[in-house]
Amino acid sequence: MDKIIIEGDNPLSGSVAISGAKNAVLPIMAAALMGKERATITRVPDLRDTKTMIRLMEIIGAVCNYDNGILTVDGSMVDNPEAPYELVKTMRASFYVLGPLLARFGIVRVSLPGGCAWGPRPVDFHLKGLEKLGAKITLENGYIIARSDRLQGAEIQFEFPSVGATGNIVMAAATAVGTTIIRNAAREPEIIQLCDYLNQMGSNISGQGSTTITIDGVDSLVSADVAVIPDRIEAGTFLTAGALLGEITIKDVNPHHLDSLLIKLKETGCTISTTEDTVTISPADSIQAADITTAVYPGFPTDLQAQWIAFMTLAQGSSMVTDTVYHDRFSHIPELNRLGANIKVDQNTAFVRGVKNLVGAPVMSTDIRASASLIIGGLIAKGTTEVNRVYHIDRGYEQIEEKFSGLGAKIWRESA
């Protein structure tokens, strides 16, 4: 198994280009299964998760070609509406094929996502939403089977603005008969892009970006091309590292997608300047502790909580980091404490007392964003840090060690 080795406490400088967003491209790829021609998706990050999704689409019958960030999907041969356990268990976002395949075939068989590195992550909102659209849902041998002759528009009120459930319902409702209204919908930029993409494919969706999305069903969709939006979580990960280690510029980003993070970074004393598609950060002379509470967009993303905690380990004073989206997403904390951090957890809040410095140690990643926080921990620690189980980071970060090396970090990968 590969590991990442970091000789820490080296300053960062220069600029880094941010890749296309993992959480935008995965639902877009699922949506492409609804078109019967060829779609070209550009700025597709080279990630384990995008490769898993390509494998899944190929099992379903799509003809995919991925080269240098460009993915073509030919949906004309799609004939197998099924997502097998072997793939769903490695990537929960495989569940995104549920809505599009049900809409296209009237039947779909998708393995129920299993346990997750952080707590139970149910799919009840997806299923209740599809039932409202008229689907009959059964569970057989660990697989969700959804059936429907033609879905019917309906009003759906989510208990919580789930990103995945919003995406699935929007895709399923795109070709339903009549109008679907989703209330308490997710407002994430990735959902806006999915809706815009579906509109390019011929659907009639409005209200994306607000809490109410309206979908006027159309008869069928056509294939369309799209360029994936920048990854705001990768961007935030680099900014957090820059806040600790030196002035850097992140390029090819949408600074507005980072508003909640930039406000908090300023609160810690960092200097931030933005252009239309770049953000430059200079560290504070002394980092002021700042509390965060994660929330749905436009709140502070749960996907940056772990990185923020790594940042706060070296702040002056103490900070509280509360995760309201995933209450037990704290597997990085014992590992950061192995590097000498002083963090305690009570329920869904981490209490971080700033220390003078961290010291390198072997640590283990447990999920994508926890891994990112350990890499930040290793970059700021004195001495050598070895991050094990890096397949987690490869799920969501493209060439992370090359990108940090380009900024001056001493970081490399070793194969076992």
Contact status: 165 vs ligand UD1 (CB under 6 A)? yes
Q: List the catalytic residue out of 64, 116, 195, 270.
A: 116
Closest to 171 (Cα-Cα) out of 137, 136, 202 = 202
Q: At what angle do helices 232-245 and 305-312 cross, to 10 degrees?
A: 0
Instruction: Give the interface size with ligand UD1 as a residue count (CB under 6 A).
Output: 18
Cβ(112)–Cβ(44) below 8 Å: no
Among residues 228 and 315, whose Cβ is nearest to ligand UD1? Answer: 228
CA max distance for the chain: 63
Among residues 189 and 360, whose Cβ is nearest to ligand UD1? Answer: 189
Q: Binding segment for ligand UD1 among 62-70, 160-168, 200-208, 384-392 (CB under 6 A)?
A: 160-168
Among residues 66 and 326, whose Cβ is nearest to ligand UD1? Answer: 326
Concatenate the DSSP letters of all residues of 286-300 into one string. SPBP--EEB-STTSB
Among residues 326 and 391, whose Cβ is nearest to ligand UD1? Answer: 326
Among residues 155 and 159, whose Cβ is nearest to ligand UD1? Answer: 159
Q: Which of 41, 163, 176, 226 binds ligand UD1 (CB under 6 A)?
A: 163
What φ, ψ does residue 179 adopt, rounded to 5°?
Answer: -105, 135
Closest to 86 (Cα-Cα) out of 52, 120, 115, 54 = 52
Among residues 91 and 358, whose Cβ is nearest to ligand UD1? Answer: 91
Q: Binding segment for ligand UD1 among 36-44, 136-144, 163-171, 356-364 (CB under 6 A)?
A: 163-171
Minimum gap (Å) between residue 33 Cβ and ligand UD1: 16
Cβ(338)–Cβ(366) below 8 Å: no
Contact status: 90 vs ligand UD1 (CB under 6 A)? no
Other CB atoms within a 10 A radius of the CB of residue 37 amount to 12
Other CB atoms within a 10 A radius of the CB of residue 385 amount to 27
Contact status: 326 vs ligand UD1 (CB under 6 A)? yes
Closest to 25 (Cα-Cα) out of 102, 75, 93, 127 = 93
Concatenate the DSSP letters of all residues of 262-276 into one string. HHHHHHTT-EEEE-S
Contact status: 300 vs ligand UD1 (CB under 6 A)? no
Contact status: 23 vs ligand UD1 (CB under 6 A)? yes
Contact status: 312 vs ligand UD1 (CB under 6 A)? no
Contact status: 311 vs ligand UD1 (CB under 6 A)? no
Active site (annotated) includes residue 116: yes
The interface with ligand UD1 within residues 99-158 (CB under 6 A) comprises 121-126
Classified as helix, coil or strand, 53 is helix
Contact status: 325 vs ligand UD1 (CB under 6 A)? yes
Q: At what angle do helices 163-173 and 124-132 cross, to 10 degrees?
A: 20
Closest to 234 (Cα-Cα) out of 16, 3, 14, 8 = 16
Minimum gap (Å) between residue 233 Cβ and ligand UD1: 7
Q: What would the two tokens of residue 352 be?
A: 């971080």
Minimum gap (Å) between residue 177 Cβ and ligand UD1: 24
Among residues 124 and 414, whose Cβ is nearest to ligand UD1? Answer: 124
Minimum gap (Å) between residue 247 Cβ and ligand UD1: 29
Residue with tokens 């039947």: 107
Residue number, nearest CB to ligand UD1: 164
Residue with tokens 């491209």: 25
Active centre residues (catalytic): 116
Query: What does the binding site for ligand UD1 look like in residue numbers (CB under 6 A)?
Result: 23, 26, 93, 121-126, 160, 162-165, 302-303, 325-326
